[in-house]
Amino acid sequence: MYSGIVAMALMAVFAVVFLYALHRLTAVAASPVEVLPAQSGWMPQEHALSRFHVRWYMASIVFLAFDVEMLFMYPWAVIVIERGLSAVVEMFLFLGALLVAVVWAWREGAFRWA
């Protein structure tokens, strides 16, 4: 069952390796040149790798809550037909509760930056 996926992965790796090998032959030089980061020609004052201020961290927490919910959603999708209305009611009550949380987060400004 998974042999197809493994084969595709191998194909992809082959494609990447082929391109890199081809590049070694066709490029004006095989080795990379080391350069300064693009800053309009100015010297960088520090390394860019740093603690980055993500201003959407509130949104990412709400996202996590919902993302975990997807764990239930996929198996649920398979049994809706089997279980009928009760499954629908249960799931959408749950989703409704989550959406209320989203509305609350929205009103708190979690999805607005700046």
Partner 1 sequence: MPETVLTTVPAGWAALAGIVLCTLAFFAAALDSALSARAEGAGRGGWLAPAWSTARLLRQRRRTVVAADTLLLRVGAAGMLVGSFLMVAVIPLGRWTLADLDVGVVWFNTVDVMVWALVWLAGWGANSVHGLVGGYRFLAHGLAYELPLMFALVAPAIAAGSLRVGDAAGAQDRLWFVVWMPVAFVIFLVGVTGFSVWGPFAAALGADVAGGVLAELSGVDRLVMQAGRYAFLAAGAAFSVPLFLGGGAGPFLPEWAWVAVKTVAVLAVLVWLRRKLPVFRPDRFLEIGWVVLLPAAVAQDLVVSLVVVWKG
Partner 2 sequence: MGLTDALAGLALRATRVLVVEAPGQWPTRVVLEEKMLRRGWRPAWTPGDADVLAVCGVPGPELAQLVERLWEQMPGPRVRAAVTSPTAVTSALNEAAALLLDTPAHRTDARERAQKPQIPAVMDHGGHGEMGNHGMDHSGMNHGGHGGMDHSSHGGMDHGDTDQPLSGDEDHQNMDHSGTDHGGHGGMDHSSHGGMDMAPEGIPLAQGGEDRDGLGVDVLHLPLGPVLPFWPAGLVLHCSLQGDVVIDADAAVVDGGSHGVGIRSRHSGLVPAAAVRCDNLVALLALVGTQDLAARARSARDALLRGDRAGPQRAVERLHRVVRRSIILRWSLRGVLPLTPADLERHSLPDRCLGDAYDRLLSLVERVRAEVNGANPGAPVGTERVPWDVVPHLVTGLEIGTVRLAVASLDLDPFPAVHEVGHA
The residues in 11-30 that bind partner 2, with binding defined as CB under 8 A, are 26, 28-29
Q: Is 87 exposed, middle or buried (0-12, 13-18, 19+ CB in 10 A)?
A: middle
Say what angle helices 57-83 and 85-107 make with each other, to 10 degrees: 170
- 97: contact with partner 1 by CB under 8 A: no
73 binds, among partner 1, partner 2, none (CB under 5 to 8 A by kind): partner 1
Segment contacting partner 2 by CB under 8 A, of 6-14, 39-47, 70-78, 102-110: 39-47
CA distance 72 to 95: 11
CB of 67 to partner 2, least distance (A): 23
